[in-house]
C-alpha cells in the first residue's frame, strides 16, 4: 500500500480578491503534491474558502444580498484561478457546505460535553476586521495590534474554550518536536508568544451581533467564532467523525502551508483544540513570508496588488509558477518586480532551458535526420553529465523539496541545464559533423543531451507541468506524469535510440523589454537563433550604397574576454579600436572560450547604438559567419592595426 501524504493551504477568506500571496502558498503546495505523486505517494491536497464571519455579513448587507449569495458570487474567482494556475488539489472546501458545518457542530458538542467549553461574561477590545478580542494591555492607543484599525470596547457573554489549560503541554510539544513549526524563526516566535500566560479563547459570537456563522449545537443564540469554524476544515474534509478509517489514513497532516500572519492561529489555537479532542497536531506547520512589490507593501490603496490572472495572461502560467518559487527562499519575505520577473524569464527560462531544448532538437534534425541516435562509449565529460543528472533525481531534488527549499531545488535543476549547455559548447557537435570519423562521437553527444532533457522533464514536472508536457512532446518521449515515475531509481539510458523528435515553437520566448508595462511582447523566434536573412534580390531586401556607407566597420583587437554570468553564449569583450577601447557583448561563447578570443582581430560595427544584453552594456557588434551556430569570426588576412576602416 502506498504511503500517504496530506498537504493543505489555508482556506482563503472569500472577501479577498486572489492575489500573489494566495497564489504563492497554493503553488508551493501544488509542487509538493505533484512531486509526491511522482514518488508514488497516495496524496490528498486540500484547499478552499473561509466564508463565515462579520466581514462577509457586512459586505453582503452593503450589496443588498444574502450572505450565502455573496459567497456564491465570489467563490468562483478562486476556483477558476486555481484551474488556470494548474493547481492539482484533490478537494476544495467551502465552510458553508453541510459536510463541514455538521462536523464543526459535532466537534463543539464533544468539547462542551468534556467540559472544555464554558460560558462567561467578558469585557474587552474587539477588532471587527480580525474578528477577535484583545486585552487592555494589547490595545495600545485603542488600535488593533495586528491591523492597526480602531478597536471597539464590548461587554458580552460568550462561550470560551479552555485554551490556557494546554499551554504547558504545547510548549513541551514544540520543544520536543523541532520540525513542528518551520522555519526555525517562526518556531522561536511562537515560543516567545507562549512565554506570556495563555488566555482562554472566545469561541462564540451572539447572534444579536453576528448571525452569519455556524450555530452552536448547545445554544441557538450563538454562532461559532470564525477561526474555530475555519480550522476544523483540516479534519472535517478528510472524514473526522464521518469516515474514521479514511480520516486515520490522512491524519495527522504532513504539512500545513500558511502565511506568517496566521501563525498563532495555526500553531496555538489549532494545536490546543486538537489536543482537547484527543488528536495529534499536524506533523509540520510551515509559515512563509510576505511579498512586497518593488520594495513597498502591497495594498489596495497604493494600487500595487499583484493580480495573478494578469501575470499569467501576460507572461504565462509556468513562468509565473517558476518565478515565485525561484526568486526567494520559501519562508523569507520576497519582493516582486516586473524587472526581476522578466530577467528570470529571459536568462534562465529562455536563454538556458529553452535554448537547450531548441539547439538539441535543431542538431538532431540536422545531424540525425530527426531521430535520436545510438550513443557510443562515454568519455569523462559524458560521465560528469550523467552523474549530475542521476544525482539530481536520486537525492538532491528529494532533499530540497522535503525541506521546502523550492528555490534550492530549482537552482540544482538549472545547474544541470547550464552543465548541458556547456557540454554542447565544449563538444562542438557542429565541428564533429564535418568529419566522418567523428560521427560516433557526434551521436554520443546528441544522445546524452537528449537523455539529460528527459531527466529535466521529470524534475521540472512538479514546478512547470505545461512546460514539462511540451518538452516531452517535442522530444518524442513516452512519459505519463500522472503515474509514479519517480517511485523507483531513474537510471541513465531511458531514451530509446531511433525516437523521432517533433520540434515546436520556443518553450519560453524572450520578453521584449523595450515595451512599456502591459505591452510586453514575446519574441517568438527560437532562443539563440539568428534573425532571418534579408532577401538577396528585389523588394525590401535590397539596400543602396548610401545605406551601406552608414555602417562604420572597423578592425578591433580583443584585449580581454570573459563570460557573461548566467549565459552559455555571451562573452563580454574589451576591444581595442585604435582610438579607444570598447566593451562589446558577443554571442560567441558556444564556439570560442574567453581565452581563445584574447588577441584575435575582429571586425566590428562601430556606430551601432549601445544596448544592454543580460544587463551588460554592449558598445558595438562583432561580425561572425554562421547560421544557427557561429562557425567562424570575420577577420583580416593581413596584420592591420586596430581601428582600420573596413570598406
79 occurs within a structural domain: no
Distance CA 271, CA 279 (A): 9
More confident residue, 220 or 568: 220
User: Are 588 and 642 found together in one domain?
Assistant: yes
Strand pairing class (571-576; 553-563): antiparallel
Matching residue, cell 566597420: 553
- How far is Cα 28 from Cα 462, in angstroms, rounded to an integer? 10
Name the grid cell of 450: 537528449
* CATH number where 555 lies: 2.40.50.140
Instruction: Give the position of cell 506524469.
Output: 481
Q: Any bridge partners for residue 122, and if so which?
A: 156
Per-position DSSP letters for 510-554, written without gaps between them: EEETTSPTT--EEE-SPTTPPPPPPPSSSGGG---HHHHHTS-EE
Torsion, CA 258, CA 261, CA 265, CA 270, rounded to 10? 10
Final residue before a domain boundary, out of 497, 512, 527: 512
Q: Which residues contact 274 (CB under 8 A, 6 or more apart)?
A: 235, 280, 281
pLDDT confidence band for 536 (50 / 70 / 90): very low
CA distance 604 to 576: 11
Q: What pLDDT score was predicted for residue 559?
A: 87
Please state, in angstroms and rounded to a whole number, the distance separating the CA atoms of residues 185 and 297: 21
Q: Identify whether residues 603 and 454 lie together within a single domain.
A: no
Indicate whether 1 pLDDT > 80: no
Q: In which region does residue 72 sit, left (phi positive, over 0), alpha (psi from -120 to 50) or beta (all else)?
A: alpha
Residues 563 and 501 in one domain: no
Q: Are residues 404 and 491 in the same domain?
A: yes
Which residues are paired to 201 by β-bridges? 161
> Of 448 and 640, which is predicted with more confidence?
448
Phi, psi of 49 (to 5 degrees): -130, 140
Q: Evaluate whether residue 481 is within a structural domain.
A: yes
On whether both 380 and 418 belong to a single domain, the answer is yes
The dihedral over CA atoms of 260, 263, 266, 270, expressed in degrees to the nearest 10, equals: -170
For residue 519, the model assigns a pLDDT of: 44
- Do 361 and 453 lie in one domain? The reply is yes
Residue bearing the bigger pLDDT, 409 or 633: 409
Contact 438, 446 (CB under 8 A): no
Q: Which pLDDT band, with edges at 50, 70 and 90, does 154 fall under?
A: confident
Does 563 lie in the same domain as 488?
A: no
Please state the φ and ψ torsions of residue 317, each to the nearest 5 degrees.
-65, -50
> Are 337 and 324 in contact, with CB atoms under 8 Å apart?
no
Largest distance between two CA atoms of the chain: 100
Q: Is residue 368 part of a domain?
A: yes
Residue in the block written with cell 457586512: 58
Residue range 365-394: average pLDDT? 96
Q: Does residue 483 share a domain with residue 417?
A: yes
Instruction: Say what the pLDDT of residue 521 is.
Output: 39
CA gap 570, 564 in Å, rounded: 6
Ranking 90-94, 184-188, 312-316, 565-569 by mean pLDDT, the lowest is: 565-569
Q: Are residues 592 and 460 in the same domain?
A: no
Contact 465, 86 (CB under 8 A): yes
**pLDDT for the residue numbered 139:** 78
Cβ neighbour number for residue 614 with a 10 Å cutoff: 16
Give CA angle at 187 (185, 192), nearest 5°.
95
Q: What average pLDDT does the chain have?
A: 90
Q: Give me the pLDDT at residue 296, please.
A: 81
pLDDT tier, 303 (very low <50, low <70, confident <90, very high otherwise): confident
Cα 415 versus chain centre, distance? 17
Is 425 a residue whose pLDDT tops 80? yes
Q: What are 606-635's pLDDT values in tens digits?
A: 888 888 888 888 999 999 987 556 778 898
Q: Find the helix packing angle between 20-38 and 317-327, rounded to 10°.
A: 90
Q: How far, in Å, CA of 38 to CA of 432, rounded?
A: 38
Q: Which residues share a beta bridge with 555? A: 603
Please give the residue that has the higher pLDDT: either 222 or 524: 222
Q: What is the mean pLDDT of residues 296-306?
A: 76
User: Does 72 map to a domain?
Assistant: no
CA angle 389, 394, 396 (to 5 degrees): 80
**How many domains does the structure of the chain reveal?**
2
pLDDT at residue 47, rounded to an integer: 98
Confidence of residue 542 (pLDDT cuts 50, 70, 90): low
Q: What is the mean pLDDT of residues 331-351?
A: 94
- Distance separating alpha carbons of residues 561 and 596, to the nearest angstrom: 9
**Contact between 490 and 362 (Cβ < 8 Å):** no
300 class by beta-carbon count within 10 Å (0-12 exposed, 13-18 middle, 19+ buried): exposed
Return the pLDDT at 514: 65
Position 134 scores a pLDDT of 79
pLDDT confidence bin for 403, thresholds 50/70/90:
very high
267-278, pLDDT tens digit by residue? 999 999 999 999
- Tell whether 522 is covered by a domain: no
pTM above 0.95, yes or no: no
Does residue 364 sit in the same domain as residue 419? yes
pLDDT of residue 359: 96
pLDDT over 90, % of the chain = 72
Specify the residue for cell string 552594456: 617
Residue at grid coordinates 579600436: 577
- HSE at residue 28, side-chain half, CA atoms within 13 A, is 34
Look at residue 523 and tell me whether its pLDDT is greater than 50.
no
DSSP 3-state assignment of 18?
coil
pLDDT digits (tens, 9 = 90+) for 235-276: 999 999 999 999 999 999 999 999 999 999 999 999 999 999
| Cell numbers found for residue 570 | 555571451
Domain residues for the domain of 432 are 333-512
Confidence of residue 528 (pLDDT cuts 50, 70, 90): very low
Report whether pLDDT(526) > 70.
no
Q: What is the pLDDT of residues 483-499, one digit of tens each?
A: 999 999 999 999 999 99
Range picked from 123-127, 296-300, 621-625 for highest mean pLDDT: 621-625
Lookup result for grid cell 484547499: 47
Domain check: are 347 and 494 in the same one? Answer: yes
In this predicted structure, what is the pLDDT of residue 445?
A: 97
Domain assignment present for residue 83? The answer is no
Q: What is the pLDDT of residue 361?
A: 97
First-residue to last-residue Cα distance in the chain? 77
Range name among 218-232, 263-277, 402-416, 567-581 with the lowest pLDDT average: 567-581
Flag whether pLDDT at 347 surpasses 60.
yes
- Of 31-40, 212-221, 545-554, give the lowest mean pLDDT range: 545-554
Verify that 626 and 479 share a domain, yes or no: no
CA distance 593 to 630: 13
Find the mean pLDDT for residues 166-174. 98
Distances (CA, A) of 92 to 26, 253, 465: 12, 16, 21
CA of 74: how far to CAs of 48, 68, 247, 314, 440, in Å? Answer: 12, 10, 30, 24, 62
Of 496, 512, 528, the residue that ends a domain is: 512
Q: What is the pLDDT of residue 538?
A: 34
- State the average pLDDT over residues 117-123: 91
Strand partners, 616: 613
Say if residues 151 and 142 touch (Cβ distance below 8 Å): yes
Neighbour-count burial of 277, counting CB atoms closer than 10 A to its CB (0-12 exposed, 13-18 middle, 19+ buried): middle
For residue 618, tell me if it sits in a domain.
yes
Domain end among 461, 477, 512? 512
Distance of CA 377 to the CA centre of its chain: 38
Residues forming a β-bridge with 153: 125
The phi-psi region of residue 444 (left if phi > 0; otherwise alpha if psi is between -120 and 50; otherwise beta) is alpha
Q: Look at residue 467 and tell me if it is in a domain.
A: yes
Beta-carbon count within 10 A of 364 CB: 25
Burial class (CB in 10 A: 0-12, 13-18, 19+), 152: exposed
CATH code of the domain covering residue 455: 1.10.730.10
Nearest to 455 by CA among 408, 407, 416: 416
Amino acid at each position: 500500500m502506498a504511503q500517504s501524504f496530506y498537504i493543505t493551504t489555508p482556506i482563503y477568506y472569500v472577501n479577498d480578491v486572489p492575489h500573489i500571496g494566495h497564489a504563492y502558498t497554493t503553488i508551493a503546495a501544488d509542487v509538493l503534491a505533484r512531486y509526491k505523486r511522482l514518488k508514488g505517494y497516495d496524496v490528498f491536497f486540500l484547499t478552499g474558502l473561509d466564508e463565515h464571519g462579520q466581514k462577509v455579513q457586512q459586505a453582503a448587507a452593503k450589496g443588498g444580498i444574502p450572505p450565502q449569495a455573496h459567497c456564491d458570487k465570489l467563490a468562483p474567482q478562486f476556483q477558476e484561478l486555481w484551474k488556470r494556475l494548474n493547481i492539482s488539489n484533490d478537494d476544495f472546501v467551502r465552510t458553508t457546505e453541510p459536510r463541514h458545518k455538521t462536523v464543526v457542530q459535532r466537534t463543539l458538542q464533544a468539547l462542551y460535553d468534556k467540559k472544555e467549553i464554558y460560558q462567561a461574561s467578558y469585557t474587552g477590545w474587539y477588532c471587527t476586521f480580525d474578528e477577535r478580542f484583545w486585552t487592555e494591555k494589547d490595545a495600545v492607543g485603542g488600535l488593533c495590534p495586528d491591523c492597526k484599525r480602531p478597536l471597539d470596547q464590548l461587554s458580552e457573554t460568550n462561550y470560551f474554550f479552555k485554551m490556557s489549560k494546554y499551554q504547558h503541554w504545547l510548549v513541551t510539544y514544540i520543544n520536543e518536536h523541532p520540525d513542528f513549526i518551520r522555519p526555525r524563526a517562526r518556531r522561536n516566535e511562537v515560543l516567545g508568544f507562549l512565554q506570556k500566560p495563555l488566555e482562554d479563547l472566545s469561541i462564540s459570537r451572539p447572534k444579536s451581533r453576528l448571525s452569519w456563522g455556524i450555530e452552536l449545537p448547545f445554544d441557538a443564540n450563538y454562532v461559532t467564532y470564525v477561526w474555530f469554524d475555519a480550522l476544523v476544515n483540516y479534519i472535517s474534509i478528510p472524514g473526522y467523525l464521518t469516515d474514521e478509517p479514511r480520516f486515520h489514513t490522512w491524519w495527522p497532516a504532513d504539512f500545513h502551508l500558511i502565511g506568517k500572519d496566521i501563525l498563532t492561529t495555526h500553531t496555538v489555537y489549532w494545536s490546543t483544540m486538537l489536543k482537547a479532542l484527543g488528536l495529534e497536531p499536524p506533523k509540520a506547520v510551515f509559515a512563509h513570508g510576505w511579498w512586497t512589490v518593488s520594495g513597498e507593501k502591497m495594498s489596495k490603496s497604493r494600487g500595487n496588488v499583484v493580480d495573478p490572472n494578469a501575470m499569467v495572461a501576460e507572461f504565462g502560467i509556468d513562468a509565473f509558477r517558476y518565478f515565485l518559487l525561484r526568486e526567494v527562499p520559501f519562508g523569507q519575505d520576497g519582493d516582486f518586480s516586473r524587472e526581476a520577473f522578466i530577467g528570470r524569464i529571459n536568462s534562465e527560462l529562455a536563454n538556458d532551458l529553452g535554448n537547450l531544448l531548441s539547439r538539441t532538437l535543431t542538431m538532431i534534425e540536422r545531424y540525425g535526420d530527426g531521430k535520436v541516435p545510438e550513443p557510443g562509449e562515454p568519455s569523462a565529460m559524458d560521465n560528469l553529465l550523467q552523474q549530475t543528472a542521476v544525482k539530481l533525481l536520486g537525492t538532491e531534488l528529494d532533499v530540497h523539496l522535503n525541506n521546502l527549499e523550492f528555490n534550492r531545488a530549482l537552482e540544482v535543476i538549472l545547474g544541470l541545464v547550464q552543465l548541458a549547455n556547456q557540454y554542447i559548447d565544449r563538444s562542438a557537435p557542429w565541428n564533429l559533423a564535418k568529419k566522418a570519423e567523428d560521427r560516433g562521437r557526434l551521436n554520443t553527444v546528441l544522445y546524452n543531451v537528449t537523455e539529460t532533457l528527459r531527466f529535466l522533464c521529470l524534475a521540472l514536472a512538479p514546478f512547470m507541468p505545461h512546460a514539462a508536457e511540451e518538452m516531452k512532446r517535442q522530444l518524442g518521449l513516452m512519459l505519463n506524469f500522472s503515474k509514479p515515475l519517480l517511485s523507483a531509481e531513474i537510471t541513465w539510458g531511458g531514451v530509446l535510440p531511433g525516437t523521432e523528435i517533433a520540434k515546436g515553437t520556443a518553450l519560453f520566448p524572450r520578453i521584449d523589454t523595450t515595451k512599456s508595462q502591459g505591452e510586453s511582447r514575446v519574441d517568438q523566434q527560437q532562443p539563440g537563433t539568428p534573425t532571418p536573412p534579408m532577401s538577396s534580390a528585389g523588394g525590401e531586401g535590397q539596400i543602396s550604397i548610401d545605406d551601406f556607407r552608414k555602417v562604420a566597420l572597423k578592425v578591433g583587437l580583443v584585449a580581454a574576454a570573459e563570460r557573461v554570468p548566467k549565459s552559455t553564449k555571451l562573452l563580454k569583450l574589451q576591444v581595442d579600436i585604435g582610438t579607444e577601447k570598447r566593451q562589446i557583448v558577443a554571442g560567441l561563447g558556444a564556439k570560442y572560450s574567453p581565452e581563445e578570443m584574447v588577441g584575435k582581430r575582429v571586425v566590428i560595427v562601430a556606430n551601432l547604438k549601445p544596448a544592454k544584453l543580460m544587463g551588460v552594456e554592449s558598445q558595438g557588434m562583432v561580425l561572425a559567419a554562421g547560421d544557427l551556430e557561429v562557425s567562424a569570426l570575420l577577420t583580416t588576412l593581413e596584420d592591420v592595426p586596430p581601428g582600420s576602416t573596413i570598406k
